[in-house]
Structure 1
């Protein structure tokens, strides 16, 4: 408790509470006879990712540690230690999975704020500088939303503050608990490394702790290897060759945590690429960077004080601690346009070192030029301007939930008919029985919702975790096209191993074919807009 002032604890609790407000609004405004799923409304893809995380939690709840893709019909091997964060969460919690998800998000948001305070304290001695760093690393975001005032500038890509949630610590924690966990693990691992370098002897406790932290980081955020390994190796080389803080003999002890970190990521890479289904998942997992202008404006609130403090930083007395945030930012900048399909993934946590460098520029170069009486006001105004995007994102979700009858809003509520249908499947179907579902590029359809609600295997339900996604969009459209012969439909169902057909409004809009007319389908459930058909095994 002494390490964290009371104000930091209160700030952490306040942020966790504020980020919970959209979900509280979603639950309180649920229309009659519906159930709130627990997903956010803004950005639109948040609900799709939420469904994916609950799929992992369902498998953990059932004791299935070898994770499989529930959003696709093809048989494929389960992979232990892949997506283990949510699997573990589902296995450990006795509560409802949606509640568990948000409890974890709440607790880890608090933990993230505390970790960011520790990181700030590593670089700054005065409470005021630490607080500025903490504010910049939490409530601050970017200004690419200014492009909204430029005609046509956001026609193809919107401001990154409103969709690229990997880019900012608090915005990431607002939607996904594993993002907050990743930030905590990054800070813990890198500071443990720094502490070990400055300790004496082998320091086994620190070495084993670093090994565990890097292993956990590899499970929670596997893409981190392209950042963490070069970062630690460069720092290691500096501490051995230039700073003389380490001997080569002692530095070799770091092979243990680095090898464990690398081996875990290599295992995941090989396992995923050795199977056609998992390889399709990997090939569809493309997160390319937007144009550079979006990043410049998106991180402009950090870039400005960094540039102001650049000259002071260069002439200031050398301090080995500053190599960590500096190299961290430079490596991320290189990875953002490196020839990898996961470019945006490396943004996760980069706000942490950016905030440290920005706080340096603000406190050591800018504020000394300002009279003491005006410093709090200017700092408050600047931080407030940087916090507009997170505040707008939270408000947008709360406002959307205030209108639960709007078509876009109903997408995160389960209707009474759906809930009764899910209850029937829960009692009559096995979790591995494939259900023919719908899903589209707009994120709408029955597949993702069913997986989140039941942990049921479905034909399609996710942009990435449904293999050959575009092909399956065409297939499901053909299935409901009335001009397609029933012989094709029967063969399609048999070849894919479908056991049930879920027929609802999302299926009706795809075409005029009615499953009730098919001799190879048996109606086993009906409630309002939802009908479930069992596929007759003999056709």
Structure 2
């Protein structure tokens, strides 16, 4: 590690941190626009168009930890839970939010912004492991931060031809999947940034441990990092040990002997990190709620063609880099590490494991490094084949290369940011209700948060319930397809309840049977039907503000 760090100049670090600042600005501006340009009577809820569904879940975790609850519960489902889960990532964010009295949304965003320079620092060290030339390193970092696939160019035809249909996964992954590329990850949440940061750091430390004698410390540190990693992202246990196991197997084949020392290092990492994995298996077995949630927590991937489109020309770069390395006999153990990572990711994406989309994490890094290798070797090859004037115009032309990069590799990222600005400033009622919440609803959350007893469940429409755990601390009846147990049936009951004013006795029994203490009534609920809570004696108005009313269920 010291040798790698010694090759990185102060000028390089300044450029890395400058790029970190650029990423903070680019990924922060849409959120700031949402906050400062919210429509009258509304407040920005912190969501954007890229995979917004899970963010209220993280708000709930932060809010609980902010209130001193380290073992957080799943408040997006109404079932009682004897104990919560220790999630160290959201625990420390929530604890700091409590210490500094930060609002939940601000704590969520600050943690994301802080993690951007952390990721860039680790990523650049990882890049330096593969490249000695400083210009090539910075090129690789720029590719890593700003390259994406061809989703932008095929989105309109897919929409026009009706290819997507009712299946939301029939869409290029660079336009919807957080893990698909680095830009999406940095744009989304801090724990996704921490996830890829820990992954590449573990791989780097273990690669260095395998290369050097008496480097048990690297294995021990990797084990501690994996212990923390699997606490909040246990999905990547098969990735870490699948990649390191395949990498070690390849080294053994090359050495034509069993590598006892390296195998011992891998066992050390496994044993140190194992408690986190055991903890999650224990949770699944000990808690019916956590167990059922694990069954429901299926993260699908788009059909293969949309995965291909999601990385676009980087696939060609990957093949080009691999071909040059193999043809010129430059393929070494470093590249075998990347190829092992690639193989394991592809296998897991299409494996029986139910976390297919999650296993795209890291593919972008692999494709970028091989692409930069391929382009560097291609440039050197063409230098000897083309006339100087031709080479200078087509290859050694910074303006042309930047233009080609922007046209073919950046549009999907620009689209993601531009889409958010468009939605924020569109003033469309359909969009406003997704990105902004009525001020009266925030008032209702604040009132609910003051109620000493939070044993009862809150009932209402989809959007008010999504954010209630994060801003009030109360559990809700149904709010999330994965987090809410048996979400489909509960969503149907919500539709039935607000459809009309019939079956008053049955609706009262329904509320009591599900331990529902409060009902939120706002424009969101009015859209579901003609139900009027003021007509029913089993509901008692306890709070009202700016068109949002909270009713307490009469016991």
Normalising by structure 1, report the TM-score. 0.92
Task: For residue 526 of structure 1, give the secondary structure of its aligned residue in structure 2.
Answer: strand
Cα gap change, 1:250 to 1:387, in 2 (>3 Å): closer
1:420 matched to 2:418? The reply is no
Counterpart selection for 1:321 from 330, 334, 337: 334
Pairs within 5 Å for 1:454-493: 454-482=472-500, 484-493=502-511
Alignment of 1:139-538 (within 5 A): 139-147=146-154, 148-149=156-157, 151-155=161-165, 156=167, 157-201=170-214, 203-240=215-252, 242-243=254-255, 247-249=259-261, 251-315=263-327, 316-366=329-379, 368-369=381-382, 371-372=391-392, 374-375=395-396, 376-384=398-406, 385-404=408-427, 406-439=429-462, 445-482=463-500, 484-537=502-555
- Distance in structure 2 (CA, Å) of the matches to 1:220 and 1:377: 43
Aligned to 2:104: 97
> Are the counterparts in 2 of residues 168 and 351 from structure 1 also a CA contact under 8 Å?
yes
Q: Work out the CA distance in 1 between the residues paired with 2:257 and 2:111.
A: 39
* Equivalent in the alignment of 1:29: 37
Q: Distance in 1 between matches of 2:47 and 2:289?
A: 27
- 2:113 aligns to what? 106
Deviates more, 1:222-231 or 1:367-376: 367-376
Distance 2:276 2:54 in 1: 24
Give how far 1:307 is off: 2.0
Q: CA deviation at 1:483?
A: 6.0
Q: For the Cα contact (< 8 Å) 2:501–2:532, is it kept in 1?
A: no
Q: Is the 8 A contact 1:435 1:502 kept in 2?
A: yes
Q: Assess if the C-alpha contact under 8 Å between 2:119 and 2:194 holds in 1.
A: yes
2:519 is paired with a residue of what secondary structure?
A: strand
**Cα separation, partners in 2 of 1:471 and 1:169, compared to 1, 3 Å:** same
Encode CA deviations 1:438-488: one digit per residue, 9 max, x unaligned. Answer: 21xxxxx21012223223211122121111100001111222233642221
314-323 vs 225-234, greater mean Cα deviation:
314-323
Whether the 8 Å CA contact 1:325–1:354 is kept in 2: the answer is no
Measured in 1, the distance between the counterparts of 2:72 and 2:222 equals: 26
2:97 paired with 1:74: no
Asked whether the 8 Å contact 1:326–1:357 carries over to 2, the reply is no
1:9 is aligned to 2:17: yes
| 2:28 equivalent in structure 1 | 20
Unaligned residue ranges in structure 2 (runs of 5+):
1-7, 384-390
Distance 1:244 1:401, change over 3 A: same
Q: Is the 8 A contact 1:273 1:279 kept in 2?
A: yes
- Cα separation, 2, equivalents of 1:102 and 1:475: 34
Aligned mates of 2:136, 2:164 — CA distance in 1: 36
Q: How many residues align?
A: 527
Contact 1:135/1:383 (<8 A) preserved: no
Give distance in 1, aligned partners of 2:381 and 2:486. 58
Change (3 A) 1:234 1:79: farther
Question: 1: CA distance between counterparts of 2:496 and 2:447?
Answer: 27
Cα deviation for residue 314 of structure 1 reads 1.0
CA distance in 2, matches of 1:164, 1:23: 19
Greater shift, 326-335 or 448-457, is seen at 448-457
User: Normalising to structure 2: TM-score of the pair?
Assistant: 0.89
Tell me, yes or no, if the aligned pair for 2:171 and 2:302 is still in contact at 8 Å: no
Match of 1:442 in 2: none
Provide the rounded CA distance (Å) in 2 between the counterparts of 1:109 and 1:412. 24
SS in 1 for 2:120: helix
TM superposition shift of 1:135: 1.8
Moved more, 232-241 or 394-403: 232-241
CA distance in 2, matches of 1:457, 1:66: 15
Large movers: runs of 4+ above 6 Å = none
Q: Give yes or no for contact 1:277–1:467 (8 Å, CA) kept in 2.
A: yes
Contact 2:130 2:334 in 1 (8 A): yes
> Secondary structure of 2:551's partner?
strand
Q: Determine if contact 2:449/2:471 at 8 Å carries over to the other structure.
A: no
Coordinate RMSD, CA, aligned: 2.2
Partners of 1:154 and 1:146 in 2: CA distance: 15
Question: Is 488-497 or 141-150 further displaced after alignment?
Answer: 141-150
**CA contact 1:197–1:245 (8 Å) conserved in 2:** no
For 1:53, the equivalent position in structure 2 comes to: 58
Q: Deviation at 1:349?
A: 2.5
How far 1:372 sits from its partner (Å)?
4.8
- Aligned residue for 2:54, secondary structure, equals helix
Higher mean displacement: 480-489 or 329-338:
480-489
**Equivalent-residue separation in structure 2 for 1:250 and 1:332 (angstroms):** 22
| Structure 1 residues 249 and 205, CA gap change in structure 2 (3 angstroms) | closer
C-alpha contact (below 8 Å) 1:144/1:159 kept by paired residues: yes
Measured at CA, do residues 254 and 346 of structure 1 come closer, stay the same or move farther in structure 2, by a change above 3 Å?
same
Q: CA deviation at 1:165?
A: 1.9
The counterpart of 1:87, out of the listed 84, 91, 110, is: 91
Is 1:136 matched with 2:148?
no
Distance in 1, matches of 2:364 and 2:285, equals: 31
Contact 1:308 1:366 (C-alpha < 8 Å) held by counterparts: no
Worse-superposed segment, 93-102 or 247-256? 247-256
Gaps of 5+ in 1: 440-444
3-state SS, counterpart of residue 511 of structure 1: coil
